Amino acid sequence: MAISFTFVPLFALFCYVLLFITFAAAKKSQEIYAFMGMLLTLIGWTGGSLFMRLQLYPGVIFWFDVSLGSLFIMPVFLYLFVHHFVGARGYALKIIWSVGSVIILILNYCHVFLQHPTVMDIGDGQASFIYTMHPAVIIPVLFYGAMVACMVRLLVKEIRKSPIFAPSIRPIIIGMFILFLGNIGDIIPAIGRFPTDTLSGIINALLLFYALYKKRLFKMTLLVSRGTVFVLTAVLTSALFASTLPSIEAFILQAFPQFSGQVTMIIAVTYALFTIFIYLLIQQMLNSLFVHEEMEQARLTREFTHQASKSLKLDEVLQRLITTVRTGIDADKVFICLKDKSGAAFSIVGTASPLDSKNFTFSVDNPMCAWFLSSDQALLTRDFQKTPLYRSMWDAEKAQLSERRIDCIVPLKTEKDLIGLLLLAKNDPHPFSHSDLAFLESVASVASIAIDNASLYERAYYESRVDNLTGLLNRKCFHEKLDEEFGVSSITSLSLIIFNVDDFKLYNQLYGNREGDQALQNIARILAYAAEGKGIAARYGGKEFALILPGYDTAKAYTLAETVARQIGEINRVGGSKTLKKLTVSVGVCSYPHSAANASQLINNADMAVYSAKRSGKNKIVVYSVNAAESHSSSLETPPMDAGVYKEYASTIYALTAAIDAKDHYTFRHSQKVAEYASVLARTIGLNQDHVQIIYEAGLLHDIGKISIPDHILAKPGRLDQDEYAIMKTHVENSIDMIRHLPSLDYVIPAVIGHHERWDGTGYPRGISGEDIPLGARCLAVADAFDAMTSVRSYKPAQPVEYAAGEIIRQAGLQFDPHLAEVFVDLIHAGKIHVDSLSLSS
């Protein structure tokens, strides 16, 4: 029995030291700290007992005190381990057991319970130890018995409260029972001198280790270096050879007397080979059991983290998650559930196979979801089915899990909320190891952050493109969509309808902004329904809406505009006890390619049609056409307006131009000529009569703001200095400030405000360029520059017409729209524009 007596404690000591060093390099938790404390007491107990029996330095008494002291302090670390493992609260019992253990330890060193052993030589180099116990030993027995009972109560209580954790708690109970039996067996004579207490200590430590592993408080990865493993192996084999050296030497001399002179060398070589063999065996066992699989899963986790951190596209993150999970654990089916828009249920948004059904939902108040709010761990279905939570689920929800053979559910959680569920299925009867679950939890934690970030980005992106009040696309997104549709519709047709709510400011004043917002929302719903499957609806402005209709020609667009306008008119006639003013809209319709050459013209022309509808009595649909004979308009209720409706604004226009004439006669004559030239140009490029009339009136008013310019600057004979030029440039804003107070003339503002903009973007006041400059403003810019060059001013003589025409061509693409510059010069050469033309009619 001597070899077994030596080998068992030596092997136990090796296991304890290896576990302690392993956990010393691991990420710590309260459970692991308590487990490491218990390992230290086991090392002290086993090592002290072994070294006492070997009678090593500094002597039997020292190693006896170390062993017995470690034995007395070990239960309190076991209690702390159980306390933290089950998540118990409170400090009272922890303090009582800890202080009590310290008191018992002190009393032990005072020999209250047990005297130092007496050593007796029994021959063959063996020794026997005689112990003398005092009746007071009953005190630690009762104390530690009460502590064990308290531990059992905590464990049983946790199993009843959370049956899911039962698999990780049972090993602790079994280990405590085996430890108790081992210590009982040590005093049974029939068992002899075999160290059952030490062997039970090994089994208990391994079961606690397994409990930690089952609860996934650490990864089963080798956390110590190869050098450490080799040193521990060398210590183990050295101790083993040291304890068995006489027996080995005697065996060699008896079996192989011819090698009696080489005994030392044979033992040394055998020791070296045995050490290498044990080292390779341990290393291979650890690699095959733990390292290889976890290294591969760790690599996949790193790759997924790197990829997910670079993407803000939700679909991309979900697909990468599915790929990573399938590769890491070889799952047959993967389902990703996220909260739906209502936030009331989880529904499937991603699957491993496109053939998998996505008809799967869980309410957010589902018992399983409620459990995940308090736990970050993956949940095996077979464990969950043993709990009351599973029994409280709806049968339909149980059926959904069963039909899809879901084996494992992993929560996708942020710091504040459960945002999704990862559902997995495998054909393997034992599908998920603890390493798999730890891998899934690591990937899920990364995926939760990536999904949350992608969702926030998509929400922000959506909100930046959608109007908050109506839910339709906003103006910015409207322009993007129109450009996109124009690109794909360049060989077909594309229509744009703009709806402008009539007298909406009055509506808000009469009924309040809340009722006005409700009216806008009702209009938006009508437009969204009208656009469904046909086009795109957007809120174009405060009281303006737009429909983009790919493939629609003018006739189809007009018909749809009539339908929508009539439905808007019925809004306040249906339901409710309130009597509200009828809502009407002025509608402009323009179609590509018949009435516009590009997206910018499509918008501008539809806007012009709206202006025409407003000026001709409102509640009207006007179809923009380059040919006045083809221009189509209809009133939805009121009779058609007189063709000379624009004349009602003539007196206002002439009053304003007379005011500038009193200030500066040149400006008055200049405005007349610019209006004439620009209207001829507008008519030539194919604008309809309404558009031409607006440009003509804008020409008359474009310099009205010069009334506010000081006379000494306006009539200065030389060039203006920098400060004077800055003042002169303010005439544009001044013109707008005057015109905007005349609602009947606000339709000329786009042309007036842009007549000093340049095609290359270096003009003023806004610095816009190209086709962003309204078409009317581009016509005025050419006409304004031509008249300025061919007129006499206080600071210069008149330039010849040919010089002015050449300068316009040279500035084409820089200051002027190149197409308009070319057409204007052609009109000059054709005699349709000449410097003495001062007609006031268009």
Domain 648-829 part of CATH 1.10.10.10: no
Whether the pLDDT of residue 674 is over 60: the answer is yes
Average pLDDT, the chain: 81
Average pLDDT over residues 557-564: 94
Average pLDDT over residues 53-72: 86
Task: Say how far apart CA 661 and CA 655 lie, in whole Å.
Answer: 10
CA nearest 682: which of 498, 496, 495, 842? Answer: 842
Compute φ and ψ for 622, nearest 5 degrees.
Answer: -120, 130
Is there a contact between 589 and 497 (Cβ–Cβ < 8 Å)? yes
179 — pLDDT class (breaks 50, 70, 90): confident
Average pLDDT over residues 408-428: 88
Segment 155-176, tens digit of pLDDT: 888 877 766 666 677 788 888 7
Strands 585-592 and 620-623: parallel
The rounded radius of gyration (Å) of the Cα atoms in the chain is: 46
CA nearest 817: which of 597, 611, 653? Answer: 597
- pLDDT at position 126 is 63
- pLDDT at position 629 is 40
Out of 3.90.226.10, 3.40.50.720, 1.10.645.10, 3.30.70.270, the CATH code matching 475-641 is 3.30.70.270
CA nearest 541: which of 572, 511, 501, 570? Answer: 501
Segment 533-542, tens digit of pLDDT: 889 999 998 8
Q: Which two tokens stand for residue 778?
A: 């581009």
Helix (H/G/I), strand (E/B), else coil: 279: helix
Give the number of other CB atoms < 10 A from CB of residue 427.
11
Whether the pLDDT of residue 412 is over 90: the answer is yes
- pLDDT at position 840 is 32
Burial grade of 405 (CB within 10 A; 0-12, 13-18, 19 or more): middle
Q: Which two tokens stand for residue 814?
A: 């820089």
CA nearest 808: which of 828, 791, 792? Answer: 828
Average pLDDT over residues 416-431: 82
Torsion region of 196: left, alpha or beta (phi above 0 gives left; psi -120 to 50 gives alpha): alpha
219 — pLDDT class (breaks 50, 70, 90): low
What amino acid is encoded at 703 in this protein?
D
- pLDDT at position 749 is 81
Is there a contact between 522 and 471 (Cβ–Cβ < 8 Å)? no
Q: How wide is the angle at C-alpha 555 spanned by C-alphas 549 and 556, nearest 5°?
A: 40
Q: Which two tokens stand for residue 509?
A: 């004043």
- Answer positive or negative: Cα dihedral of 501, 507, 512, 515: negative
Task: Say how far apart CA 269 and CA 246 lie, in whole Å.
Answer: 16
743 — pLDDT class (breaks 50, 70, 90): low
DSSP 730: T
Task: Say how far apart CA 437 and CA 383 lie, in whole Å.
Answer: 13
Neighbouring residues of 538: CB distance < 8 A, sequence distance ≥ 6: 467, 472, 473, 474, 475, 477, 478, 481, 545, 546, 547, 548
CA nearest 216: which of 375, 39, 34? Answer: 375
562 — pLDDT class (breaks 50, 70, 90): very high
Segment 226-275, tens digit of pLDDT: 555 666 677 767 766 666 677 777 878 888 888 877 888 888 888 788 87
- pLDDT at position 640 is 39
What amino acid is encoded at 354 in this protein?
P
655 — pLDDT class (breaks 50, 70, 90): confident
Is there a contact between 16 and 39 (Cβ–Cβ < 8 Å)? yes
Is there a contact between 749 and 740 (Cβ–Cβ < 8 Å)? yes
Average pLDDT over residues 81-96: 87
Domain residues of the chain, as ranges?
2-218, 311-464, 475-641, 648-829
First-residue to last-residue Cα distance in the chain: 125
Task: Say how far apart CA 26 and CA 764 lie, in whole Å.
Answer: 68
Whether the pLDDT of residue 224 is over 70: the answer is no
Task: Say how far apart CA 213 and CA 22 lie, in whole Å.
Answer: 13
Whether the pLDDT of residue 355 is over 90: the answer is no
> Strand pairing partners for 494?
550, 592
Residues in the chain: 842
Average pLDDT over residues 576-597: 82
CA nearest 106: which of 139, 59, 148, 60? Answer: 139
Percent of the chain at pLDDT > 90 equals 25
Average pLDDT over residues 662-690: 83
3-state secondary structure 70-116: HHHHHHHHHHHHHHHHCCCCCCHHHHHHHHHHHHHHHHHHCCCCECC
Helix (H/G/I), strand (E/B), else coil: 836: coil
Whether the pLDDT of residue 443 is over 50: the answer is yes
DSSP 290: I
Neighbouring residues of 552: CB distance < 8 A, sequence distance ≥ 6: 493, 494, 495, 534, 535, 560, 591
Whether the pLDDT of residue 91 is over 60: the answer is yes
- pLDDT at position 664 is 66
**Rounded to whole angstroms, what are the CA distances from 766 to 518, 756, 763?**
35, 9, 7
Q: Which two tokens stand for residue 712?
A: 């000494």
Max mean pLDDT among 27-36, 545-554, 575-584 falls in 545-554
804 — pLDDT class (breaks 50, 70, 90): very high
Average pLDDT over residues 645-671: 68
- pLDDT at position 429 is 60
What amino acid is encoded at 549 in this protein?
L
589 — pLDDT class (breaks 50, 70, 90): very high
Whether the pLDDT of residue 590 is over 90: the answer is yes
Is there a contact between 263 and 249 (Cβ–Cβ < 8 Å)? yes
pTM of the model: 0.52
Q: Which two tokens stand for residue 546?
A: 């737009």
- pLDDT at position 627 is 59
Q: Which two tokens stand for residue 247?
A: 């027996």
Give me the numbers of helices (H) and strands (E) for the chain, helices first please: 31, 14
Strands 418-425 and 333-339: antiparallel
Least confident of 356-360, 773-777, 784-788: 356-360
CA nearest 55: which of 243, 234, 195, 244? Answer: 243
Average pLDDT over residues 665-686: 86
> Strand pairing partners for 473?
466, 538
Which one has a higher pLDDT value, 13 or 569? 569
Is there a contact between 673 and 837 (Cβ–Cβ < 8 Å)? yes
Max mean pLDDT among 181-195, 286-300, 319-333, 799-813 falls in 799-813
Q: Which two tokens stand for residue 55?
A: 């009678």
Q: If you write DSSP's letter for every residue of 153-200 in order, what string do you get? A: HHHHHHHHH-GGGHHHHHHHHHHHHHHHHHHHHTT-GGGTT--HHHHH
Average pLDDT over residues 180-200: 66
3-state secondary structure 325-382: HHHHHCCCEEEEEEECCCCCEEEEEEECCCCCCCCCEEECCCHHHHHHCCCCCCEEHH
Neighbouring residues of 798: CB distance < 8 A, sequence distance ≥ 6: 789, 790, 791, 792, 835
Segment 392-402, tens digit of pLDDT: 888 888 888 88
Helix (H/G/I), strand (E/B), else coil: 827: helix
Helix pair angle (166-185, 138-161), 10° resolution:
160
Is there a contact between 53 and 2 (Cβ–Cβ < 8 Å)? no
Task: Say how far apart CA 769 and CA 781 lie, in whole Å.
Answer: 13
Q: Which two tokens stand for residue 497?
A: 């309808």
Is there a contact between 527 and 549 (Cβ–Cβ < 8 Å)? no
CATH of domain 311-464: 3.30.450.40
Task: Say how far apart CA 276 and CA 270 lie, in whole Å.
Answer: 10
Segment 460-502, tens digit of pLDDT: 888 888 998 999 999 999 999 998 888 776 668 899 999 999 9
Is there a contact between 338 and 346 (Cβ–Cβ < 8 Å)? yes
Whether the pLDDT of residue 832 is over 80: the answer is yes
311-464 and 648-829 have identical folds: no
Whether the pLDDT of residue 125 is over 60: the answer is no
Q: Could you identify the residue written with the tokens 């990780």?
A: 168
- pLDDT at position 222 is 44
- pLDDT at position 439 is 87
> Strand pairing partners for 423?
335, 409
- pLDDT at position 526 is 95
- pLDDT at position 648 is 58
Q: Which two tokens stand for residue 154?
A: 């905590």
Out of 2.102.10.10, 1.10.1740.10, 2.60.40.1180, 1.20.1070.10, the CATH code matching 2-218 is 1.20.1070.10
Helix (H/G/I), strand (E/B), else coil: 458: helix
Whether the pLDDT of residue 407 is over 60: the answer is yes
The H or E element containing residue 656 is helix 650-663
280 — pLDDT class (breaks 50, 70, 90): confident
Task: Say how far apart CA 463 and CA 471 lie, in whole Å.
Answer: 9
Average pLDDT over residues 76-97: 88
Outline where 501-649 has alpha helix (H).
Answer: 504-511, 513-531, 554-569, 599-615
For 800-826, b where at least 16 C-beta lie within 10 A, e where not — what string?
ebeebbebbeebbeebbbeebbebbbe
- pLDDT at position 372 is 87
684 — pLDDT class (breaks 50, 70, 90): very high
